[in-house]
Structure 1
Amino acid sequence: MAASKIAVTLYTLRDFVQTPADIADTLKKVKSIGYDHIQLSALGPVDPAELGSMIRDAGLHVCATHVPFERLQDEPNKVIEEHRLWGCEHIAVGSMPRSYWDDPDGFSRFAADASAVALRLKKAGMSFSYHNHHTELVRVGGRTGLAILVEDSDPALCFEIDTYWIQYGGGDPIHWIERVSNRCPVIHFKDLGVSGREQMMAEIGEGNMNWPGIVAACETAGAQWYVVEQDTCAGDPFDSIAISFRNMTAMGL
């Protein structure tokens, strides 16, 4: 059986990773659920070396991270050193900084700036991805913002497609995964369901997303990691990531 591609982002558990003690405890809980791989995101202050020790002690592997874009521009060497310390080669940014959103040419400008970061990280043996929300599906001059980012950037820039947000914005996750084939090492798995009359985020397999089609597209596109993310949970976030893990395992992932 192939090694599992399943991971979970600590953003889902952000309320439980704000102190070093809480981080250590949360990592152990994540491991006990069955996860072997994590994405670092939304952590409170912690020394990078201490964090690395916590991760190793928990028996986990860092497959990816989210890093503020300003850090990648201002101190790329430090970011690279940290990721080498953690044995991680995939870096992403959660969204464009506000200054780009406020600029009519912001998508094109960010495509150029993000390409420069991606090329620098590529030289260090690392990838750089952009994580979408629904807002990148806004149309600007006949194209969606996400299309501008994909088409106007260097091929070194990768895309961390978030399945929920694509669907929420009226897009097709399968289409967008196929569109960034070989540029999507990490995909965010997030389900979309309905509660009453409202759309809601759901555990993987508990909503209405086309997971067989999404998984097939990921395999064809060369995705290496399927990262569980659930921004909001109806109950305990640890229970939510456990449900997602069980359902993804049942899918054969």
Structure 2
Amino acid sequence: MAKDVEGTLRKIAQIGYTEIETGTYFGKTPKECKAFLSGMGLTAPSGLYMTTVMKKDWNKTVDQAVEGGQSFMGCAYLTPDERKTIDDYKKLAELFNRSAEVCKKAGIQFMHHNHDFEFQPLEGQVPYDIILKETDPKLVKLELDVYWATKAGQDPVALFNQHPGRFPIVHLKDMEKTPDRAFAPVGTGSIDFQRILDARKIAGIEHYYVEQDVCKIPPLEAIAISFQNVKKLSV
């Protein structure tokens, strides 16, 4: 992507993908970006952002997302400095609620994308529970990264059953069957994706994305393998 945005996106489309998740407009205006992607047969229904944007330029960012055709906006990641205490998470929940109100007025759904640290006990509580309990379930949805949830010892389907309808988007990311449990192309590791997608109605899943943070083979090869294996799943 750093060397050839258009060429890379065209290859992604050629593999068979029709949707991408982003947080950038590739140097174009949102409207230009929407047309740019459409010309390749791609759409970007959702984008992920940092809390710094939510605290500073959120209204403008939401307006741009509307122009770019997005239906979902979410928190991409929480930095270590902003999640040291349970009180920090309570403040983040307040920020999510406020940010989600702005999104709602624009017809966009807000969500939070997890990693593994949200499930690690802190001060006798589980941070993910704080996010779930202290945010409005209609305003703030969850984008479940199944790899990070699994790595943290969570069962994605159990989370769906406990919080029905709260997971409109999931990241399909596999885990190697090795001691270090590294990232792997979908369908080559240890996660049962069919079981997860079988629960899509209770979860409320509308979109699912292949994601792989680090690839041991060229990324385009990795996502081609993932695409073929996702195609084999019954959805």
Asked if these proteins are the same fold (TM beyond 0.5), I'd say yes
Number of residue pairs matched by the alignment: 234
Aligned to 2:175: 192
1:165 to 133, 148, 152: 148
> What TM-score, normalized by structure 2, do the two folds share?
0.91
> What TM-score, normalized by structure 1, do the two folds share?
0.85
Partner deviation per Cα, 1:12-49 (whole Å, 9 max, x = no partner) = xxxx1x36xx2211211111000111111477654434
1:30 to 12, 18, 26: 12
Partner deviation per Cα, 1:113-140 (whole Å, 9 max, x = no partner) = 1111112211211111111111111113
Q: Is residue 229 from structure 1 mapped to residue 207 from structure 2 by the alignment?
A: no
Q: State the superposition RMSD in angstroms.
A: 1.9
Question: Residues 203 and 219 from structure 1, CA distance in 2 versus in 1: closer, same or farther, beyond 3 angstroms?
Answer: farther
Question: Which letter does structure 1 place at the counterpart of 2:61?
Answer: V
Q: Are the aligned partners of 1:159 and 1:180 in contact in 2 as well (CA < 8 Å)? A: no
Worse-superposed segment, 165-174 or 73-82: 73-82
Question: Which letter does structure 1 place at the counterpart of 2:36?
Answer: M
Aligned to 1:176: 159
Question: Which letter does structure 2 place at the counterpart of 1:54?
Answer: F
Question: Which letter does structure 1 place at the counterpart of 2:169?
Answer: V
List alignment gaps of at least 5 residues for structure 2. Answer: none
List alignment gaps of at least 5 residues for structure 1. Answer: 1-15
Per-residue deviation, 1:237 = 0.7
Per-residue deviation, 1:104 = 4.3
Q: Are the aligned partners of 2:185 and 2:222 in contact in 1 as well (CA < 8 Å)? A: yes
Question: Which letter does structure 1 place at the counterpart of 2:214?
Answer: T
Q: Is residue 149 from structure 1 mapped to residue 131 from structure 2 by the alignment?
A: yes
